[in-house]
Amino acid sequence: MKIRKILWIVLLLAAWQGIAVSGRFSPLIFPSLGMISQSLVNSLLNGELVRETVFSIVLILEGLIIGMLLAAVMSIASITSKWLRDLIETVTALAHPLPGIALLPIIILWLGTGRSSVVFIIVHSVVWPLLLNITAGFKATPRIYRDTAQNFGVRGIDMFKDVYVPASLPFLISGLKIAWARSWRALISAEMIFGAVGGKGGLGWYIFKQRVFMDTAGMFSALFIIILIGIIVEEIVFEKFEAATIRKWGMAIYDGEN
């Protein structure tokens, strides 16, 4: 991260602390940074927050992996046959605008309130944006790459893996970023609703539960964990991956420098 960004974070935190210590609001509603970190350390040390975080991350990864596999299969199917492409485009057009949370009551009816329901909601929120981005990437593959590859005798699966996949990598990466963000939204909402019934809750359920105890600092410490994971994935995982691929190849739409 740039120095300016870090500076802004420090300033925002200072502003928060300023409001908290001003006494304008009750600490029950607006806890100070000290209370939040205290709660964070406690719940990390007694293992509760760690367990919930691991539970949530496992669900996210499961949903993401299943979603990616489905998107891969469907995107390959859609370039092999016009009939399949029309089918997949139709299903995508119908399913993509549906928020995962709107499906919850039906999913509860069909799959119950177990973890498979949460995974289903995550897969739903991940698979359509991924699919849309991958197929957009295939369509945007420059004709000159296909022409030259065809000229050298590249056909079928080789054309797919050697030309289409790398050429559409910038699209795939932005699809993954959207999918990652969407999967968290789906997860947290599903956990908040299911947690009351299911056994383990995850971060969504944790936040929900702390409200019942009026543990505002506890709610913020869980939010902090979510933000931290988001930053780590965005600034380290995606950053490293982009630097090793599309930025190295001069293919990035935005190269991160201004």
Footprint on this chain of another protein (rule: CB under 8 A):
142, 144-145, 147-154, 158, 162-163, 166-167, 169, 245, 248-251
Closer CB to another protein, residue 29 or residue 144? Answer: 144
To the nearest whole angstrom, how small is the minimum distance from the Cβ of residue 169 to another protein?
Answer: 8
Query: Please, which residue, 152 or 213, has the CB nearer to another protein?
Result: 152
Helix (H) or strand (E) holding 244: helix 239-244
> Nearer to another protein by C-beta: 10 or 244?
244
Pick from 195, 98, 178: nearest CA to 131: 178
Rg (CA), the chain: 22
DSSP 140: T
Nearest distance from C-beta of residue 161 to another protein, angstroms: 12
CA distances from 47 to 43, 51, 231 (A): 6, 6, 22
Q: Which is nearer to another protein, 151 or 258 (CB)?
A: 151
In this structure, what DSSP letter does residue 24 have? S
Q: What minimum distance in Å lies between the beta carbon of 136 and another protein?
A: 18
Cβ closest to another protein, residue 2 vs residue 139: 139
Do 142 and 86 meet the contact criterion of CB atoms below 8 Å apart? no
Minimum distance, C-beta of residue 46 to another protein, in the bound complex (Å):
48
Tell me which H or E stretch contains 105: helix 100-111
Q: How far is the CB of 252 from another protein (least distance, A)?
A: 10
DSSP 141: S
